Structures are given as C-alpha cells and as structure tokens.
C-alpha cells in the first residue's frame, strides 16, 4: 500500500459518528476501549480491486478445469470425502458472515470495525467461491450423487452436525468470545492446516480446482488473524477482561480441536490416496509451535494463559481422525458420499506414521473390506455391541480419542440422558448448558427405525430410487441397494434409551 493511501485511510476514519444510544447493538461483558488499531488500513477501492482479481482467477480456473478434466482426474476417494468436508467448510464461512456482522455492530471502535467490515465481505466471497466449486462438482464429477443434496444433507448428517455445533459459536454469545473463537482460534491456529496444507493434498490427488479455491481463500486469512490480534490487544488494555479471554480461549480451543482435528485430519488422510504429509506433524507445526509457541506465548505477559487442556489435546490429536474415519465408515449406508476400503498401501502408511495404529484400527479396516461387497450381506453396524452416542457438545461419536480408550461420560440433565465424549466437552456442557442442552441426537430421531427406512427418510438414494448414494467402497462392481439393506433387517437403537 502506498503512503498516500495510508493518509487517505486516516481521513476515512474520521467519518465516524456518535450514537445517541451508547450501547452497541450486541452487548458484551468485555470492556472495549474506544481506541484500537485497524491492522490492515485497507480502503474499499483497493480491497475491491484486489479481490476482484482473485475472484477472476479462481472462476477462470474453473473454466480451465473443465477443459483439463480436473473432476475426472481427481482421485474418487478424495472427491467423495469432499462431499462432506466442503459443505462443512461453507457452513463455517456462512456462520462467519453472520458472526463478523455481529462483531462489527458489537464493537464501538471505528478502527477495529473497519477491519471487520472487510472481513465480512471476505467471508461472503469465500461462501460464493465454495458454492461455485460445489456447482462445478455437481455438473462434472464422475459420480455427482450426493453433491446435489449437500446443503440439505449438512443439516441431517452427523458429520454436518459436527460443523454446525462448532461454527455456530461464530455468531452466538458474546461478540468478543466470537472474535476469540473465529479470528483467534479457528483462523489463526487452524486455517493454515486447512488452507495451506490441504491444497497440497488436493493437488497430489488430482484436484487442482479445490487447491485454487483454497489458496484464494487463504490469501484473505492473514487479515482476519490481524483483526483478532488487534481486538485482543485492545481488550487486553483492561485487566478485568483477562479472565474472560482465558475462559473463551479454553472453551474454543478445546471445541475447535474436537471438530477440526477430526474433520480436517479425516479428509487429509482417509480422503486421500496420496498423502504428502501426516496430520499430526502438521498440527505440531501450525497449532503447537506457531499458535501456542509463538502467538499465545507472546500474550502470556499480558495475563493470557495457554489452554489448560493443551496437553490433553496434544495427546488426542494423533487418534481423533482415525476414530472419526472408523465411525464414518461404519455408518456408510447413512452417508451421502461413498466411503472407501483402506488397502495394504494405506495400512502400511498409517502404521508407519502412527505407531500403534495397526492394533487399534487394522482389524476394523480388514473387516470393512471383507464386508464391502453387497454379496457379503453384512454391515459393520451389526458387529457393534451398541451404537456410540454422539457428544452433546462437539457432536463426535463418543469413541474418542480411540475406541479402546473412550472418555465418554453419560449423565442426566433435565430428565434426559446426555452423553459427552470427554472431560473437555463435559466442562463446556456444564458451564454453558443452555447452549447445548436443547439438541436432539441423530439416534434419538430414528430410534426403533429399520435402517432402510432411515436412508429413505434422509433421501440418500440415487435417481433409480433404489441404489444407495453411500457405498462402502469407491470401486464396487455392483452397488448396494435399499433392498440389500432391508434384507439385513438392522434396527437403529438409541444407545441412551434404557
């Protein structure tokens, strides 16, 4: 940015006004000083010029991708997992649009507000880019089944519930808590893994379109991180805010770990044939070394505490996405994408990168492969003593961090049985019960139903009305149908019903 623009920006800030009612539209418990620093000094005219060019490049690439047959060349396993994770991400963007709008109206500080106005436009841009990509997949993916219903399925599927539970925090509760969740934890700690490292995996698996879209999005994230940093420094001017900051950081670091480590880890390793990196290593670099070791470390002089559950998070990170993968593969008939079989090369890779993986997860994947063909007439669900409950807070199945080391807690709340996956989610539930108690679980909704009827109710069948969208493998000669499932006669039982 040229100096003259800096001066113009200074002038633009004077176009503020005094509100007759000094209370912001969205109240906050924090003391927010009137001074603060817009870290990017971005003028609308420069912003629009810059973003327009980025948009043109990304949309232009989709035209090129059509000619290059990117959708056809993408590994089917990668494309299928994206049917869940891309809508999950679009949900994050959309919740962020609402969140940043709320934040801008809740912070009476002209400099900080300017940064959030630009971020709101960014989040809208990201939502549109991702929807355009989803449309591209609907039209050009070799197996588009599922892509056409992703928006509806997001709200139905347990994997979508993880995203909904996580990202609704962007726009509910206190506005500064939302900043700590969105700008500080999710965007500063986690977007680098998602948006810098995932494009590498996408390219390695043939999906240049996703890589291009994610890189376009990532180029906006530094501004969002700076918004969070600017706001944190502003509120740190008042010591009474420190305990509030620490509690919000504790809550959102834990919850983001549950949701993002599970889903991003799953996509990058179980949605990939070629794995250019190992998720736990990426977490060590971006979250542990950069976010905790540098960002949070610098704030400790101002009273900010590292999350108390950091060591527990680090202990669980190597396993969370493997358990997620196991659960999503076990419920494959309920998915709106095709799962896949993990072959010898996959098993070898997991064993080499996660010592101990084979003993815990190896037998499951062997069983999954043995039952993949419809002629087996068996489902992994039948092998389970009972279905795992979903965590009332993070919505992951309560088999975390590993099925053999589950930290599940079940208790009664207002006459209803509730399960949480861990001590961290237990703490969150009891600290903010009103935010979580009202949710109904997937199993509760379908208690006593035949699995085939659940699938029909969800609408996860192909246009012939019989063949399932979800399949246990991307390379079956004959696909599973609703008749195959009905023949098995599996009844869904809510594990929390006595």
Where does this chain bind another protein (CB under 8 A)?
1-3, 6, 49-50, 53-54, 57, 192, 195-196, 215-216, 218-219, 221-222, 225, 281, 284-285, 288-289, 292-294, 296-297, 300, 306, 310-311, 313-314
- If the CB atoms of residues 52 and 72 are measured against another protein, the closer one turns out to be 52
The one catalytic residue in 80, 111, 123, 250 is 123
CB of 196 to another protein, least distance (A): 5
CB of 306 to another protein, least distance (A): 5
CB of 396 to another protein, least distance (A): 21
CB of 292 to another protein, least distance (A): 5
The one catalytic residue in 75, 111, 221, 269 is 221
Report which secondary-structure segment, H or E, holds 182.
none
379-386 long-range Cβ contacts below 8 angstroms, 24+ apart = 379/333, 379/451, 379/485, 379/488, 379/490, 380/329, 380/330, 380/332, 381/330, 381/331, 381/333, 381/451, 381/490, 382/488, 382/490, 384/330, 386/493, 386/495
- If the CB atoms of residues 12 and 284 are measured against another protein, the closer one turns out to be 284
**How far apart are the C-alpha atoms of 482 and 352, rounded to whole Å?**
38
- If the CB atoms of residues 316 and 346 are measured against another protein, the closer one turns out to be 316
**How far apart are the C-alpha atoms of 40 and 6, rounded to whole Å?**
10
**How far apart are the C-alpha atoms of 329 and 359, rounded to whole Å?**
18
CA neighbor of 492 nearest in space, from 158, 266, 162: 158
CB of 312 to another protein, least distance (A): 9
Q: Which two tokens stand for residue 440?
A: 């109904």
The one catalytic residue in 126, 140, 161, 368 is 126
**Packing angle of the helix pair 262-270, 76-106 (nearest 10 deg):** 150
The one catalytic residue in 75, 80, 93, 130 is 93
CB of 225 to another protein, least distance (A): 7
> Is 187 annotated in the active site?
yes
Asked if residues 276 and 87 have their Cβ atoms less than 8 Å apart, the reply is no
> Is 123 annotated in the active site?
yes
**How far apart are the C-alpha atoms of 294 and 288, rounded to whole Å?**
9
- If the CB atoms of residues 306 and 374 are measured against another protein, the closer one turns out to be 306
> Is 139 annotated in the active site?
no
Q: Could you tell me which residues come within 8 angstroms of residue 125 by beta carbon, excluding any fewer than 6 positions away?
A: 51, 55, 220
The one catalytic residue in 187, 252, 321, 368 is 187
> Is 93 annotated in the active site?
yes
Asked if residues 255 and 173 have their Cβ atoms less than 8 Å apart, the reply is no
Residue 465, by phi and psi: left (phi above 0), alpha (psi -120 to 50) or beta?
Answer: left
- If the CB atoms of residues 356 and 489 are measured against another protein, the closer one turns out to be 356
Measured CA distances, 459 to 395, 433, 469 (Å): 22, 32, 9
- If the CB atoms of residues 104 and 296 are measured against another protein, the closer one turns out to be 296
CB of 380 to another protein, least distance (A): 32
- If the CB atoms of residues 123 and 484 are measured against another protein, the closer one turns out to be 123
The one catalytic residue in 224, 252, 322, 368 is 224
Classified as helix, coil or strand, 90 is: helix
CA neighbor of 87 nearest in space, from 335, 329, 340, 447: 335
Asked if residues 166 and 260 have their Cβ atoms less than 8 Å apart, the reply is yes
> Is 126 annotated in the active site?
yes
Question: Rounded to the nearest 5 degrees, what angle is found at the Cα of 101, between the Cα atoms of 165 and 215?
Answer: 70
Q: Catalytic residue numbers?
A: 93, 123, 126, 187, 221, 224
């Amino acid at each position: 940015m040229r100096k003259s623009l800096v001066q113009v920006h200074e002038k633009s800030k004077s176009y503020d006004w005094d509100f007759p009612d000094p209370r912001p539209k969205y109240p906050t418990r924090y003391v927010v000083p009137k001074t603060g620093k817009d870290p990017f000094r971005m003028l609308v005219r420069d912003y629009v010029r810059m973003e327009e060019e980025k948009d043109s490049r990304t949309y232009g690439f989709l035209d090129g991708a059509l000619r290059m047959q990117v959708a056809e060349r993408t590994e089917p396993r990668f494309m299928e997992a994206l049917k869940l994770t891309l809508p999950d991400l679009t949900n994050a963007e959309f919740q962020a649009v609402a969140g940043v709008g709320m934040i801008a109206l809740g912070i009476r500080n002209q400099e900080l507000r300017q940064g959030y106005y630009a971020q709101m436009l960014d989040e809208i841009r990201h939502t549109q880019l991702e929807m355009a990509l989803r449309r591209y997949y609907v039209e050009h993916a070799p197996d588009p089944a599922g892509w056409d219903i992703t928006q509806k399925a997001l709200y139905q599927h347990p994997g979508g519930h993880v995203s909904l539970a996580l990202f609704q925090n962007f726009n509910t509760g206190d506005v500064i808590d939302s900043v700590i969740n969105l700008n500080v934890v999710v965007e500063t700690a986690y977007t680098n893994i998602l948006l810098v490292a995932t494009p590498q995996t996408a390219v390695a698996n043939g999906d240049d379109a996703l890589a291009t879209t994610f890189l376009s999005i990532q180029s906006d994230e530094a501004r969002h991180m700076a918004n969070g940093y600017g706001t944190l420094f502003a509120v740190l001017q008042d010591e009474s805010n420190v305990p509030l900051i620490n509690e919000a950081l504790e809550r959102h670091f834990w919850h983001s770990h549950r949701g993002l480590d599970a889903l991003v880890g799953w996509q990058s390793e179980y949605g990939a044939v070629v794995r250019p990196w190992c998720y736990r290593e990426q977490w060590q670099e971006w979250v542990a070394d950069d976010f905790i070791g540098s960002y949070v470390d610098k704030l400790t002089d101002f009273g900010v505490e590292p999350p108390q559950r950091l060591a527990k998070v680090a202990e669980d990170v190597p396993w969370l996405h493997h358990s997620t993968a196991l659960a999503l593969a076990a419920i494959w008939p309920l998915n709106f994408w095709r799962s896949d079989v993990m072959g010898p090369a996959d098993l070898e890779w997991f064993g080499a990168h996660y010592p101990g993986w084979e003993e815990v997860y190896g037998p499951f994947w062997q069983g999954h492969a043995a039952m993949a063909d419809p002629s087996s007439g068996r489902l992994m669900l039948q092998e389970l003593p009972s279905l795992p409950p979903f965590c009332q807070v993070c919505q992951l199945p309560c088999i975390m961090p590993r099925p053999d080391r589950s930290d599940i807690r079940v208790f009664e709340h207002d006459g209803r049985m509730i399960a949480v996956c861990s001590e961290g989610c237990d703490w969150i539930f009891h600290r903010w019960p009103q935010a979580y108690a009202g949710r109904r679980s997937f199993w509760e909704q379908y208690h006593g139903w035949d699995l085939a009827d659940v699938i029909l109710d969800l609408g996860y069948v192909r246009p012939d009305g019989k063949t399932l969208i979800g399949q246990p493998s991307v390379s079956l000669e004959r696909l599973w149908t609703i008749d195959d499932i009905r023949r098995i006669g599996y009844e869904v039982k809510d594990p929390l019903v006595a």
